[in-house]
């Protein structure tokens, strides 16, 4: 394992962990709190600008990369556009339409500059599919960021899954970034694991989703077939993606906007069952570990058992989510989620 990978992890962890107390103090002094409300599970105001520290940690790839190359440069530029939009939303609240336009613009910039087309056909069609793909990941992590330690813990495990599957491929652009994501998430969890003393806000959750989307597309562009490997990134991110699609379906059945918040996400349902915030955070990370193992077995294994690993993991989580009540109607509580 190259030393620069560990250096990136340590640098990202250190930058994120060291900067968070200063960001938290600045947010508190400026009265930039995430207040309690019908969509919130906390009862006291909590500073919400932790996404600044997460992004600073990710930027350590500038220091440890031998050369950034076009894919990583495109990632950094498009990520900063998305991060700035999330930061403005944390400070002043933007409409869902403006946020969505910024997300798709960042995704188009990334897809246009970073890679050749993934699919046969017109370039414009590839860009549209790529932008939609990235947008789903971004919003999936935005939806996931509703309980202490959940989004950062899940992103940490997904980063670890890419580190494991990327072993022996140091030339993959996303390899270095996976180590940086893992370091940033671990540093953030020092302050966000229940009970959280700071939240990441949209400037953090969208950055996590965007980075995981980048790792997924980098995997597609650097991994040798078979074609079944196309499912591996979707399996790694099975928990946030499944929770996202169930939320959209639930709101569509109510003829409500997909951006209209509710408390029927996977982590909400566990909290409603009496699980503690720590149990919920650990269980979400644990489910993602199982998805990581299933994705790795699906990718590396042979035979019927290997082929059944990923569908079985997805099916079990889907059944559990539906039995918990993910598709049940819930009272409208307003807000965005």
**What DSSP line would sit under 52-83, residue for residue?**
HHHHHHHTTHHHH-S--HHHHHHHHHHHHHHH
| Cα–Cα distance measured from residue 297 to residue 232, given in angstroms and rounded to the nearest whole number | 10
Which segments of the chain are extended strands (E)?
Answer: 33-34, 46-47
Specify which of 63-72, 79-88, 91-100, 256-265 reaches the highest per-range mean pLDDT: 79-88
The listed range with the strongest mean pLDDT (193-202, 251-260, 319-328) is 193-202
From 39-43, 222-226, 254-258, 320-324, the region with the lowest mean pLDDT: 39-43
Average pLDDT over residues 37-41: 56
Residue whose C-alpha is closest to residue 203's, from 78, 50, 34, 23: 50
Average pLDDT over residues 242-247: 94
Render pLDDT for 162-174 as a digit per residue (tens, 0 to 9): 999 875 565 576 7
pLDDT at position 334: 47
Do the Cβ atoms of 129 and 119 come closer than 8 Å? yes
The pLDDT of residue 77 is above 70:
yes
pLDDT tier at 337 (50, 70, 90 boundaries)? Answer: low
Question: Do 149 and 286 contact (CB within 8 A), yes or no?
Answer: no
Question: What is the chain's mean pLDDT, rounded?
Answer: 86
Assess whether pLDDT exceeds 50 at residue 105.
yes
pLDDT at 51: 95
Q: pLDDT confidence of 324, banded at 50, 70, 90?
A: confident
Q: Which residue has the higher pLDDT, 42 or 290?
A: 290
Judge whether residue 138 has pLDDT over 90: yes
Distance CA 128, CA 51 (A): 27
Q: How many CB atoms lie within 10 A of CB 324?
A: 16
Alpha-carbon distance values, 108 to 145, 157, 333 (Å): 24, 27, 33
Residue 283 binned pLDDT confidence (cut-offs 50, 70, 90): very high
Mean pLDDT confidence for 198-207: 95
CA–CA dist 106, 203 (Å, integer): 14
Distance from C-alpha of 87 to C-alpha of 48, rounded to nearest angstrom: 10
First-to-last alpha carbon distance for the chain, in angstroms, is 40
What is the per-residue pLDDT for 62?
A: 78
Tell me which of 37 and 244 has the higher pLDDT: 244
What average pLDDT does the segment 65-72 reach? 72
**Contact in structure between 320 and 283 (CB atoms under 8 Å):** no
What is the Cα–Cα distance from 27 to 49, expressed in whole angstroms?
Answer: 7
Burial of 128 (0-12, 13-18, 19+ CB in 10 A): middle
Share of the chain above pLDDT 90, in %: 50
How many Cα atoms sit within 13 Å of 327 on the Cβ side? 11
Answer whether residue 231 shows pLDDT above 70: yes
pTM tops 0.85, yes or no: yes
Which residue(s) pair with 336 in the sheet? Answer: 260
């Amino acid at each position: 394992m190259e030393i620069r990978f560990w250096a990136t992890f340590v640098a990202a962890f250190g930058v994120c962990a060291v900067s968070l107390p200063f960001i938290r103090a600045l947010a508190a002094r400026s009265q930039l709190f995430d207040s309690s409300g019908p969509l919130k599970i906390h009862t006291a105001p909590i500073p919400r600008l932790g996404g600044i520290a997460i992004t600073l940690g990710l930027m350590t790839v500038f220091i440890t990369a031998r050369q950034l190359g076009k894919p990583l440069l495109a990632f950094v530029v498009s990520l900063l556009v998305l991060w700035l939009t999330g930061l403005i939303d944390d400070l002043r609240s933007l409409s869902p339409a403006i946020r969505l336009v910024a997300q798709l613009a960042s995704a188009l910039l990334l897809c246009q500059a970073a890679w050749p087309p993934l699919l046969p056909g017109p370039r414009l069609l590839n860009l549209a599919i790529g932008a939609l793909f990235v947008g789903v990941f971004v919003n999936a992590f935005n939806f996931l960021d509703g309980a202490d330690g959940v989004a950062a813990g899940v992103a940490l495990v997904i980063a670890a899954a890419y580190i494991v599957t990327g072993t022996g491929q140091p030339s993959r652009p996303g390899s270095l970034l996976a180590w940086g994501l893992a370091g940033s998430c671990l540093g953030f969890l020092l302050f966000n694991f229940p009970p959280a003393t700071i939240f990441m806000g949209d400037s953090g959750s969208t950055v996590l989703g965007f980075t995981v989307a980048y790792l997924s597309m980098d995997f597609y562009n650097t991994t040798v077939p078979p074609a079944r490997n196309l499912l591996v990134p979707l399996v790694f991110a099975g928990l946030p993606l499944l929770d996202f699609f169930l939320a959209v379906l639930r709101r569509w059945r109510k003829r409500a906007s997909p951006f209209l918040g509710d408390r029927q996400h996977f982590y909400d349902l566990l909290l409603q069952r009496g699980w503690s915030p720590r149990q919920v955070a650990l269980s979400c990370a644990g489910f993602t570990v199982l998805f990581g193992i299933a994705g790795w077995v699906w990718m590396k294994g042979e035979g019927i058992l290997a082929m059944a690993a990923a569908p079985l993991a997805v099916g079990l989580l889907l059944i559990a989510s539906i039995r918990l009540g993910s598709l049940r109607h819930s009272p409208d509580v307003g807000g965005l989620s």
